[in-house]
Amino acid sequence: MKFTPTKFEQVWIIEPEPKQDERGFFARTYCAQEFAAHGLNTQWVQQNHTLTKARGSVRGMHWQAAPNPEIKLVRCLAGSVLDVVVDVRTDSATFGQWQAIELSAQNMRALYIPAGFAHGFQCLGDSCELFYLMSDFYHADLARGLRCEDPSVGITWPLPIINLSSRDAALPLLREFQ
């Protein structure tokens, strides 16, 4: 696997290195030893799978607060998405900054998202499916979110946003976390 750092010290793009032959390919998508060698989490307690049915749909920006913050490993299994992270650690020098990475079934990339980062994505095709590994169990009382169209963050979504859930549309702005 290839581990590529992003502008955020703890956020990584992880790409498998497929071995191909006439039957197709084989690719390792996770290895505890390689993750540990990069100082990354190796304990996953929950898996999630999402289907998003329309081009332009946005899910996010979500995270889970202390004392049970989540680390996520996200991969696109079908279609493609613009996957976005926002630093929501109020004591961080990069608080409020964002970065976007395209994840697709074709490029096979995964995104490693540490605790303290909001996560969301926009579906770039007719539909998309994402698979998540989670480091902690979901706790509804610790679920947090940031409005995906917060002007102070300024995420550049490539498509007009559609199908935003009522929950996501009502999420607070970043300034409410300072």
Residues with active-site annotation: 62, 132
Tell me the C-alpha to C-alpha distance, in Å, between residue 12 and each of 2, 72, 117.
Answer: 10, 11, 12
Tokens representing 23? Answer: 């039957």
d(CA 8, CA 138): 24
Maximum pairwise Cα distance, the chain: 55
Tokens representing 29? Answer: 């998508």
What are the two backbone dihedrals, phi and then psi, of residue 126, each rounded to the nearest 5 degrees? -65, -30
Tokens representing 24? Answer: 């197709």
Start-end of H helices in 19-105? 32-37
The angle subtended at Cα 105 by Cα 10 and Cα 24, nearest 5°, is: 120
Q: How far apart are the first and last CA of the chain?
A: 37
